Structure 1
Amino acid sequence: MKLMKSISRGLTVMLAGVAACALTSTAQAEVDFSGKTVEFVIPFSESGGSARWANFFAPLLSEALPGNPTVVVRYRPGAGSTKGANWFQRQKTDDGTLIFGSSGSTQFPYLLDDPRVKFDYNDWQVILASGVGGVTYLPPELGEKFDGDANDLKDIDFIWGSQGATRLDLVANLAWKMLGMNVQPVFGIAGRGDGRLMFERGEANIDYQTSPAYLKSVVPMVEAGRAVPMMTWGGLDDDGNIVRDPTFPDMPTFKEVCEATDGCETSGIAWEAWKAFFIAGFPAQKMVFLPKTASAEVRATYEQAFKDIIARPDFTKLSEATLGAYPQMTGKGAEKAKELATKVPAEAKAYVVNWLQEDYGVSLK
C-alpha cells in the first residue's frame, strides 16, 4: 500500500506538471537550424512502435524548429536497444543536430543494473516524454478459447519473439506467468516489430505490441480475421490506479483478466512488482533526449518546438490516429516522467531480479 501511494503521488505531480507545461510559453531561444540535418536516433529496427513514433514526430519537428532543418530518423538496433544507448552516451554533440529516442526496453536494463549498460539517464537532457500502451493478441484458433480469463489457455504451449528478459518485454513475461500461462520466449529479436513478423509467419502464437505498432500493423490483421486481441496492459488514472487504456477502452486490462483467472492475484509482491515496472515502462515509455553536452539554448529551443507541436490545432487528431490517446509531456512534466521511468522501489526490483534468475537463468547480481 505504501508503494502504491508513493507511485500515486508521483503520478499526480507528473500530471500536474503536464498541465502546467501546456499553459506555459517561453521565449524561443535564438538557435537557427537553417540548412542543417538533425539525426533522430532510435536504438531499434525500423519495423516497431518506436520507429512509428519517431517518424511521426520527425516532420513535425522539422516544421517547428527554427530554420526548418531536415529531421532524419536513424536506426541503431542491437542488444535490445542497449547498444544504441551506449553509443549515445559517448556522443558529445552540442549544437542540437543529434537527438535520441529511448523506450522502456532501454529503461529496464538501466533499472535492473544490467552489466551491459554503459549509459546513465542522469547525463541525458529530456525534451519530450510520450505515454503509450500495449496490447496482447492471439491467433484466431486460440482467441476462441479466451473469454475474459486465461483459465482455458493454461494447457497451451505458447512461443513468442522477445527482445530480452530485462527489456520492456518483462512486463509481458511477468503478466503471462501470473496468469499461469506457459509462454516460452525466443530471446534476441531486434525490436517488437520483429516479434510481430514471427507471429505473422506462424512462428509465434502470442505477441504484444505497443500502441503505435498495434494501430498500424495489428489492427489490419484483426480486421482480416488473422489475429484476436486478448487484453491491454491498461492505463493509469490520476490516483495511480489501473484503468482501461484510453486508446482501447473496449478491451479488458491485464488487471481485469488477472482478477478473473484462477490463481492470479492483484495484490502482494508479484502484483506490486508488475505494476511498478508497468509504470516505469508505459506511462512515460518513449522519451526524446539531447546529449549532456547540448547547450541550454538548444534545449530551450527543442522544448519550445515540442510545445508548439503539441499546441497545434490538428495535433490531437494526428497523434491519436498514429500513436493513440496518451499524454505528451515537455518541460517539468517530461522531467517528472523521466524520474518515474528510471526509478522503481527496491522491493519491486528485488522481486524481478530473483524471478529473472529463477525462470530464465539471468543473473544481474
Structure 2
Amino acid sequence: MMPFLKKHIPGNPTVVIQYMDGGGGRKGANHIFNSVAPDGLTIGAASGAIIGLGVMGETGVSYDINKFIYLGTPENENHYVIYTRKELGVDTLKKLSSKPGIRIGAQTVGHVSYVAGRLFAYFLNFKDPKFIAGYSSREVDVALVNGELDARANLATSVLRRNPDWYDKGLMNFHAIMEVPRGDKHPKLGHLPEITTFAKTETEKKLISVWRAFRGVGSPYILPPGAPKDKVAILEEAMRKTFKDPEFPAYYRKIVATDPSPLGPAELRKVVAGIPRDPETLDMLKQFSGPGPLPPR
C-alpha cells in the first residue's frame, strides 16, 4: 500500500513504515486508539482479527471498533474450505458425517483455522470430531499427508496456491465452503455446498453471519478517533484512488500472491456496522473459539 498512498496523497509525502511486534492485533489496535495523536499522520495497518476481538469483548481490548475511522481494506474475499485426506475414504457428505473421530488440525486454539474447522464440523454433523492444535500452517499440511491428521479447514487461496495437486489430482476430498462474502463464487470451488445451507435455525444463520463478517473486513487500515476531517478526506480519497490504480492489482499479486478484493471507506464501515452483536449469538461463537466441546445440536 505504501508506494500507492504516497503516489495518491497530494504532495507525494514521505510514508514511513513503523514495525510493532503484534501490531496487527489487539496490541496495535490499542496503541492506535489510545496512544497515537489524532492528527491524521499515523495510519494503523491492522488484521481483521481486531474486529472480532472487539465485538467479542475479549481480554486485553481497550479500543472501541465503532470509533475507529476506517479507510478501507485491500482484500475482503476470504473463502474457507474443509477437506480430508483421500485415504480416509470419505468422498461424500454422508460418509463424512458417519465417520467417527475425524482428526481436524489447526495452529492454536482460537486461531481462524481452528474456529473454521469447528464450524464446519458442527454444521456438517461430524461424529465425535477431534480438534488437534499446536501446528504451524505448513506442519498441518505435512501431518495430513502423513496420516497424523484427517482434515483441516483453510483458506481456499492458500491450499490451492501451496498444494494445487490436492485439488487438481484429487489427493484431498473437498467437502464444503464458506463464502466470504456470501454469494461470491470461488472460480474452482464454487460448486461446493455453502455452509449456510446446513444451518437449521435463525441462531445458526446469525452465527455464520457473524463469523463471515469477521473474515470479510479483510486487513483494515484505520485512524484513531478524532482525526481531522480534512485529513481523513484526503486519506480516504487516496485509498479510493489506490484501489482504482491500474498498477495496483499486479503489485498486490506480486507481494501477496493473490488478487486484491478491496473495500473502500464507506463499504468497510458498512460491513463493520452490520455485524450482528446479540449476546446469544456471541455466546455461542465463544463455544467454537475455545477448547471445550461443541454445543449440542
TM-score by length of 2: 0.74
Q: How does 1:214-225 map to 2 (within 5 A)?
A: 214=159, 216-219=161-164, 222=167
Larger proportion of strand: 1
Q: How many residues align?
A: 283
Unpaired stretches in structure 1, ≥5 consecutive residues:
1-56, 237-241, 260-264
Percent identity over the alignment is: 12
Among 333, 336, 348, the alignment partner of 2:281 is 348
The residue type paired with residue 110 of structure 1 is G
The alignment partner of 1:201 has SS state of helix
TM-score by length of 1: 0.62
Q: How does 1:6-155 map to 2 (within 5 A)?
A: 57-66=1-10, 67=12, 69-70=14-15, 72=17, 74=19, 76-77=21-22, 81-93=25-37, 94-103=39-48, 105-129=49-73, 130-138=75-83, 140-142=85-87, 144-148=89-93, 151=96, 154-155=99-100
Report if aligned partners of 2:42, 2:223 keep a CA contact under 8 Å in 1: no
The residue type paired with residue 99 of structure 2 is K
The residue type paired with residue 112 of structure 1 is M
Rate the CA distance shift 1:58–1:325 in 2: closer, same or farther, 3 A.
closer
Report if aligned partners of 1:59, 1:71 keep a CA contact under 8 Å in 2: no
Unpaired stretches in structure 2, ≥5 consecutive residues:
none
**1:199 and 2:140 equivalent?**
yes
Q: Deviations over 1:40-97 (max 9, x none)?
A: xxxxxxxxxxxxxxxxx3443343334153454746339x933333333333143424
Among 245, 250, 258, the alignment partner of 2:185 is 245
Q: Deviations over 1:121-145 (max 9, x none)?
A: 1231100044222232545435752
Corresponding position of 2:268? 334
> CA offset at residue 112 of structure 1?
1.9
Report if aligned partners of 1:143, 1:229 keep a CA contact under 8 Å in 2: no
> CA offset at residue 214 of structure 1?
4.4
Paired with 1:228 and 1:81, the residues of 2 have a C-alpha distance of 33
Corresponding position of 2:154? 209
> CA offset at residue 297 of structure 1?
2.9
Corresponding position of 1:255? 195
> CA offset at residue 357 of structure 1?
7.2
The alignment partner of 1:286 has SS state of coil
Rate the CA distance shift 1:276–1:248 in 2: closer, same or farther, 3 A.
same
Rate the CA distance shift 1:119–1:355 in 2: closer, same or farther, 3 A.
same
**1:292 and 2:233 equivalent?**
no
Q: How does 1:264-343 map to 2 (within 5 A)?
A: 265-269=198-202, 271-313=204-246, 315=248, 322-324=257-259, 326=261, 328-341=262-275, 343=276
Corresponding position of 1:184? 131
The residue type paired with residue 186 of structure 1 is A
Among 115, 119, 142, the alignment partner of 1:174 is 119
